[in-house]
Amino acid sequence: MRIIAAALLLAFSCLAADELAPQISTVTPRVAKPGDTVTVTGVSLGENLVEEVYLSDHKFDMKVKVLEQSPKVIKFRVPPFAKGRMQLLMLMKAVKDDDPKLLELPAYLLIEEISTEITQVQTPEKGKKSKQQEQQK
């Protein structure tokens, strides 16, 4: 009887712990540029559980600016120097005497570099005057 009670207690404590762990269902957009806003939806994403959000390329972890946070949604801005395939990390708040834990989530974001487009400037053909030249006369 004691063994069954202990097993049930262990099972219930595991279920309660799983409810606290953040779970992500969507990340939109999947491809972003620095400065873009990204929306993460899921469960257990509230301020009482998630302290900070990071993007990681597994060499460097970048803290992101969280714009909005609720139990089901986190919106953040992509940092200016982020590029490539980045994984989402969340720093969990410390529970009781435990240290805060950094949780690697199975969510990735592709960050493209901001490109500078150079457009061709049209010059007037020989013998033809531009509108600006005609207006000056």
Residue 113: beta bridge partners? none
Rounded Cα distance between 17 and 23, Å, is 12
What's the longest Cα–Cα distance across the chain? Answer: 105
21 three-state secondary structure: coil
Rounded Cα distance between 41 and 27, Å, is 7
Q: Give the lowest-confidence range in 58-72, 73-87, 103-117.
A: 103-117
Residue 15 above 80 pLDDT?
no
Residue 109 above 50 pLDDT?
yes
Residue 97 above 80 pLDDT?
no
Residue 2 above 50 pLDDT?
no
Measured distance between the N- and C-terminal CA atoms of the chain, rounded to whole angstroms: 105
In this structure, which amino acid lies at residue 8?
L
Q: What is the CATH number of domain 22-111?
A: 2.60.40.10
Question: Any idea where the domains of the chain sit in the sequence?
Answer: 22-111
pLDDT at site 55: 96
Burial class (CB within 10 angstroms; exposed 0-12, middle 13-18, buried 19+) of 10: exposed
Write the DSSP symbol of residue 118.
Answer: -
Measured at the CA of 50, the angle between CA 111 and CA 57, to 5 degrees, comes to 30
Q: What is the mean pLDDT of residues 36-56?
A: 95
Residue 63: beta bridge partners? 54
pLDDT at site 78: 95
When the pLDDT of each residue in the chain is averaged and rounded to a whole number, the result is 81
Q: How far is CA 40 from the centre of its chain?
A: 7
